[in-house]
Each structure stands twice: as structure tokens, then as C-alpha cells.
């Protein structure tokens, strides 16, 4: 407590300088948070495809909205297996995958169960919700009508909710993966179902290839046909592009992070060194009445901690304002707590170690009696 | 008891041969004494006092305080002695300006295990001894020289040390304040504290029961 008391005294003595320092440091921290969460978001997306990268196959999407029965595909039919289907309804999107696929793809479930653990039912179609925010909850039953047959309605029961909101999105040609964060506010609920069950409940619509599909094939000619006809990317390509995306995000932010951290840490070093020199008289007085050098070192460390803690709080506030501010670049940067709980103490520690090194060395080299003679005679 | 034998202190500056500020000094200071060290400026009085007050352990010869050889103690132990057994008062008061009188006197007690109530009581008692209770809330930088020196003395005695060293305690005070400070030091000595005063003022030195005069780092009588 006594050290903190003196640390606050030193902090308050140069309030304005400390405030400038804190702004600098929190800017550095904030951009660092953003970088890390961008890394995390992109990495998590890429990892969805990591398990699939060994499979021969990929995502195929056509340039045409309705292409069922197209002759090009007819020609190569039999050379590939379609293992997915998607149904985009007015209120919800339903993605269906073959059982086979589920042995590769098994998202983390937050509530309820994953599809392979649920019994088949004649009354409803079991589905896993990719995120829990749509006013939908576990065990809710929703009724939808098929896009193809409006008279037919299907009951869908939510048996599980994913812990992350990532899903394999068959509608996006780009990466094939999406985080619902991208369309956070106005996106529709996305449900994952078993294709066999979907065929049973919704009907033969689900047997056909849809606009985008997961396709299994090891025939190179078929793949090149698919590439010519529409858009095809192998699971491995998708995984690699995900990793590339992740790395390029980090590379984009890294120079800013390094620059800002360098600027703010040198500022901190300068100021703590100055604080140590300026407060030498005070420190000598404290030592004269019995404080040890370690007490003085603790005061300096606490002084730095005060700046760091205030800066981090500021950084967290700014960060939350930024990610809620509709800046497109920052949309997927929401996973703050999980990753920063590890990174923040690390940055803290490094900053304190770096910053306190010079002033503590200065203090260490000073003989108490020399300070007293210099300052008080 | 303090026993100084063959004490030599050499200052090495500017790569010169070294300057002996103290040269083979022998003194015994008995418990409960009130001792004055006099001498012209530059004779080594402050140097001696700093060694006694555990501020400087780089010396040759022997200085024992209650049979402990000071140069052999760690910085940590010396700090503990400064906090518990010895206190020093300087001409330039050494108060921490941006704190109140209360805080300044209380600081040494921060290193003691005691509760707030006990601590407040000790601060109050110390300030009573120097007649500064009325100024308890005042900020240190608003005090006059005489008041500052009284607060510095209160801070020195708040830990109930057995030795009190004062380096020119009246050096920057007028006669009225000098008298007040001397009376306080005399009263403290009466309570059993060993008091050592460094002063080149004859009036001040004459009030002590024993006097030592120094010249060029040696005791001359
Ligand atoms: N750090 C130092 N380096 C070199 N010489 C010093 C140092 N401190 C004191 N001295 C010299 O030591 C001598 C004794 O100083 P001091 O003990 O302060 O004398 P006094 O208190 O009797 O005036 C003086 O000549 C002074 O110049
Ligand atoms: Mg002197």
C-alpha cells in the first residue's frame, strides 16, 4: 500500500505528461488488440477447413442462380459426389451436409448436441444453430415452408447451438467460410442439418445440386471442368487462402503496432527515467528514514503499473467503441476477452521490464550519501 | 554505545590521489550522552555524522553501533537501522514538500507493523514534543524554517530511536528558533536519547555536556 501511495504521488505530480503518455500507450495497445483479434477471427475461420484440407474435393459455386440440370454438369455427373445443399429461405438459411462430411466437420457446441448425437425424428428436422442471437434458443421449433412448394411446411427443431458463429457458407464464392459477424445485425439465422434428414423432411429439392455445393471428387479432369463452368476451390486451397488472409491481416497491422509500441515505450522510458531523476530528492529522503532501494524500485514499478492500467482501461474502451462503430475493417474483431487475457499481461510485463530497466539502473548506481550531499548541501 | 576506532574516510574524485576527509578518528559515544562536534567548515564533521547515521558505509577502520560493525552490514540492514535505531536531522530539513506535516512525520512508521490508530497516536505524540500539533494538516512547503526543523525532528523521533544525529540543525534558523530547537533536543536527551549535534556555532556547542573539535579530518580536542 505504501508504495502505491508514493507511486500515485509521482503520477499526480506530472499529470499532463502522464496523460499524453497514456494516450500514446493506449493507442498502441488498442491497435494491438485489433491485430490480435483479427488474427484470431481469421485463424478460426481457416481452422474450420484445416480438418478438410486432406479430402479430395472442394466448394463449387455456379455463376448462375438456377443451373440444375445444366449439360456441362450432366456430362461429368457420376465423377463427383455432392455432399451438401443449401436452402435460402426468406427467414432462414438451411445448410445440409452428408453424414460423411460430418466426420470431418464438427464444430464446437455450446448448448445442446451436435447432429451426429441426435436421434432421427419423424416429427421434426434436427438442426444446429450457428449462433445464438436471433431470438432463437435451444429446443425451439420453427416452421418453414420450402421455397419450391409453399404449401408444404416443415418443422425444424434446434438441437444445438455452436459456440463460435463460424459456418461453412456455401453462398460465398470468396473464401467459402464466413463469420456471421460480417453481417452481424441483419443476417438471418443459419441452421446446419443432416442432408438425409433434410431430404426426408423437406423433400427432393435437397437431392439436387444447388447454387453452391460441397463436392467430393479425386478426378482432376472433373475438377478442371468444374473450374471452367463455375467457381471451384479445393478444401486445401480454401484452408491456405484462409491462412494467407490471416497472415496478411497481421502483416497489415504489425507495422502500426510496432511503431506505436516503440513510440509509446520510448516515451514511457523517457518519462520514468525523468521521474526517477526528478524525484531523487524525495527518494533520498525516504531512504534516509529507512526505506530501502527495493522500496524505491517498487514505487517506480507501481508508478508504471498505474500508467499501464489506466492506459489499458482506456484502450479497452476505445477498442469497444471502434468495433461497434461500423468500420468494415474491424467487423470481425470481437473476440477480445479470450485472446487478450493471455496477450495483455504479456505486453504489460514486457513494457514494465523494458521501461523500468533504465531508471532502476540509474537508481542502483546512485549512492544514497551522494544524493544527499548533492541535493541537500 | 558507539565506538569509533581508527576511522578514515577517503574521497576519490577526479582521479586524484584521494582526499582524507577523516583521518584516524577515535571516539567513544556513550548511551544517553549529548555530544557536540565542532570545527571549521570542511573539517569532516558531516562526513563523520553520515557514517554514524548509517548513510555511508564506505570507510576504513571500525565503527560499531551497539557492537555491530556498520561497514559489514547490508544496505537492507542499514536501512532497517535508520528506520529503527538512528535518526538524522539536517540543516536543509529534508521534508517532502507536497505532503502535509502529518504525512511527513508518519512516513517512517509506514515501515512498521502497526494499525492506523496506533500510528496516528505516535505521530501526534511526536508533534506534541516539538509543539507542532496545531500545524498537523498544513502542507510542508508552507512552513517557516523553524517550523520545518521542528517537523523534521518530530519525524526523526517518531520511531523512538536511541540515537539522534543533527547536522547543523540550527544553521538556517534565527536565534529565537535556534533556542526552541535546542530546547527540544535537550529535552529529548533527558528522555534518554543519545544526541550528537554537529555545529560550528559556539552557543549551540556550549549547551552540550561534551564537546569534540575537529580540524582537517582529525580530532583536535
Ligand atoms: N563527495 C565528495 N567528494 C570529494 N570531496 C568531498 C566530498 N564530500 C565532502 N568532501 C570534502 O571532504 C571535506 C569534509 O567535508 P564535510 O564532512 O562536509 O565537512 P564539514 O561538514 O565539516 O564542513 C571537505 O573538504 C569536502 O570538500
Ligand atoms: Mg557539514
Cα–Cα nearest to A272, from A370, A344, A363, A136: A363
Rg for chain B (alpha carbons), in Å?
17
Nearest ligand for residue B16 CA: 1
Question: Is-contact A242 A49, C-beta < 8 A?
Answer: yes
Question: Is-contact A166 A107, C-beta < 8 A?
Answer: yes
**Number of neighbours of residue B205 by Cβ within 10 angstroms:** 20
Name the residue with higher pLDDT: A323 or A294: A294
**Å from B134 to nearest chain A CA?**
24
d(CA A350, CA A111): 38
Reported ipTM: 0.95
Residue A185: burial class (beta carbons within 10 Å; 0-12, 13-18, 19+): exposed
Q: Write out pLDDT tens, residues A159-206.
A: 998 876 566 655 433 334 443 333 333 456 778 888 888 888 877 665
Cβ contacts of B95 on chain A, cutoff 8 Å: 285
A34, A40, A260, A350, B144 from A28: Cα distances, Å: 10, 18, 5, 14, 47
At B100, the pLDDT band (50, 70, 90 cuts) reads very high
Task: Flag if B94 and A290 touch (Cβ within 8 Å).
Answer: no
Please report, in angstroms and rounded to a whole number, the separation of the first and last CA atoms in chain B.
Answer: 20
d(CA B76, CA A292): 6
Question: Is-contact B154 B132, C-beta < 8 A?
Answer: yes
d(CA A212, CA A226): 12
* Average pLDDT for B62-88: 95
d(CA B141, CA A274): 22
Q: How far is the CA of B42 from the centre of ligand 2 (A)?
A: 7
Ion ligand 2 neighbours, Cβ < 5 Å:
B 46
pTM given for the model: 0.76
Q: B81: which 3 cell numbers?
A: 537501522
Element containing residue A198 per DSSP (H, E): helix A195-202
Residue nearest to atom 24 of ligand 1 (CA): B42
pLDDT of residue B70: 96
- The total number of residues shown for chain B amounts to 221
Cβ neighbours of residue B12 closer than 8 Å, sequence gap 6 or more: B18, B19
A199, A208, A235, B201 from A213: Cα distances, Å: 15, 10, 12, 102
Q: Write out pLDDT tens, residues A99-121.
A: 877 777 777 788 898 888 888 88
Report helix angle B145-157 to B175-190, nearest 10: 10
In the block, residue with C-alpha cell 486451397: A237
- Bridge partners of A154, per DSSP, are A144
Cβ contacts of A302 on chain B, cutoff 8 Å: none
**Å from B185 to nearest chain A CA?**
18
Phi and psi at residue A179, in whole multiples of 5°? -110, 135
Name the residue with higher pLDDT: A62 or B100: B100
Side-chain-facing half-sphere of A59: CA atoms under 13 Å: 24
Amino acid at each position: 500500500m505504501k508504495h502505491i501511495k508514493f507511486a500515485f504521488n509521482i503520477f499526480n505530480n506530472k499529470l499532463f505528461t502522464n496523460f499524453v503518455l497514456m494516450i500514446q500507450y493506449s493507442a498502441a495497445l488498442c491497435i494491438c488488440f485489433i491485430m490480435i483479434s483479427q488474427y484470431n477471427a481469421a485463424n478460426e475461420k481457416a481452422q474450420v477447413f484445416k480438418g478438410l484440407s486432406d479430402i479430395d474435393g472442394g466448394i463449387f459455386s455456379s455463376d448462375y442462380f438456377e443451373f440444375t440440370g445444366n449439360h456441362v454438369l450432366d456430362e461429368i455427373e457420376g465423377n463427383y459426389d455432392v455432399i451438401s445443399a443449401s436452402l435460402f429461405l426468406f427467414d432462414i438459411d438451411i445448410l445440409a451436409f452428408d453424414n460423411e462430411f460430418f466426420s470431418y466437420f464438427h464444430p464446437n457446441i455450446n448448448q445442446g448436441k451436435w447432429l451426429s448425437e441426435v436421434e432421427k425424428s419423424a416429427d421434426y428436422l434436427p438442426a444446429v444453430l450457428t449462433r445464438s442471437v436471433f431470438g432463437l434458443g435451444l429446443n425451439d421449433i420453427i416452421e418453414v415452408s420450402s421455397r419450391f412448394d409453399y404449401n408444404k411446411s416443415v418443422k425444424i427443431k434446434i438441437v444445438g447451438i455452436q459456440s463460435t458463429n463460424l459456418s461453412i457458407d456455401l453462398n460465398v464464392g470468396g473464401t467459402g467460410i464466413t463469420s456471421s459477424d460480417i453481417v452481424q445485425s441483419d443476417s438471418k439465422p443459419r441452421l446446419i442439418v443432416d442432408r438425409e434428414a433434410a431430404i426426408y423432411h423437406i423433400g427432393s429439392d435437397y437431392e439436387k445440386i444447388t447454387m453452391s455445393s460441397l463436392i467430393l471428387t479425386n478426378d482432376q479432369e472433373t475438377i478442371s471442368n468444374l473450374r471452367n463452368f463455375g467457381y471451384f476451390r479445393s478444401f486445401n486451397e480454401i484452408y491456405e487462402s484462409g491462412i494467407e488472409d490471416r497472415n496478411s491481416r497481421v502483416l497489415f497491422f504489425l507495422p502500426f503496432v510496432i511503431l506505436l509500441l516503440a513510440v509509446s515505450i520510448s516515451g514511457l522510458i523517457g518519462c520514468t527515467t525523468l521521474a526517477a531523476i526528478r524525484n531523487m530528492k524525495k527518494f533520498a529522503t525516504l531512504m534516509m528514514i529507512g526505506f530501502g532501494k527495493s522500496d524505491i524500485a517498487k514505487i517506480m514499478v507501481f508508478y508504471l503499473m498505474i500508467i499501464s492500467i489506466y492506459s489499458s482501461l482506456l484502450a479497452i474502451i476505445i477498442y469497444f467503441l471502434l468495433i461497434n462503430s461500423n468500420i468494415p475493417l474491424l467487423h470481425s474483431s470481437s473476440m477480445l476477452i479470450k485472446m487478450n487475457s493471455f496477450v495483455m499481461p504479456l505486453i504489460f510485463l514486457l513494457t514494465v521490464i523494458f521501461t523500468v530497466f533504465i531508471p532502476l539502473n540509474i537508481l542502483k548506481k546512485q549512492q544514497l550519501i551522494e544524493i544527499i550531499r548533492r541535493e541537500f548541501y | 554505545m558507539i565506538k569509533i576506532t581508527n576511522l578514515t574516510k577517503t574521497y576519490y574524485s577526479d582521479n586524484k590521489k584521494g582526499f582524507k576527509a577523516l583521518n584516524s578518528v577515535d571516539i567513544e559515544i556513550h548511551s544517553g550522552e549529548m555530544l557536540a562536534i565542532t570545527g571549521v567548515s570542511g573539517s569532516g564533521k558531516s562526513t563523520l555524522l553520515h557514517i554514524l547515521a548509517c548513510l555511508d558505509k564506505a570507510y576504513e577502520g571500525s565503527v560499531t553501533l551497539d557492537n555491530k560493525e556498520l561497514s559489514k552490514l547490508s544496505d537492507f540492514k542499514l536501512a532497517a537501522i535508520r528506520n529503527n535505531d538512528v535518526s538524522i536531522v539536517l540543516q536543509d530539513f529534508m521534508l517532502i514538500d507536497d505532503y502535509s506535516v502529518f504525512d511527513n512525520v508518519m512516513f517512517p512508521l509506514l515501515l512498521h507493523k502497526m494499525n492506523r490508530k496506533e500510528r496516528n497516536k505516535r505521530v501526534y505524540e511526536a508533534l506534541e514534543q516539538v509543539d507542532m500539533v496545531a500545524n498537523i494538516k498544513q502542507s510542508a512547503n508552507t512552513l517557516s524554517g523553524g517550523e520545518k526543523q521542528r517537523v523534521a525532528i518530530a519525524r526523526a523521533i517518531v520511531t523512538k530511536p536511541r540515537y539522534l544525529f543533527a547536522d547543523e540543525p540550527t544553521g538556517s534558523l534565527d536565534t529565537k528558533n535556534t533556542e526552541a530547537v535546542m530546547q527540544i533536543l535537550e529535552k529529548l536527551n533527558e528522555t534518554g536519547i543519545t544526541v550528537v549535534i554537529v555545529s560550528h556555532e559556539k552557543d549551540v556547542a556550549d549547551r552540550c555536556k561534551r564537546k569534540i573539535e575537529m580540524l582537517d579530518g582529525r580530532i583536535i580536542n
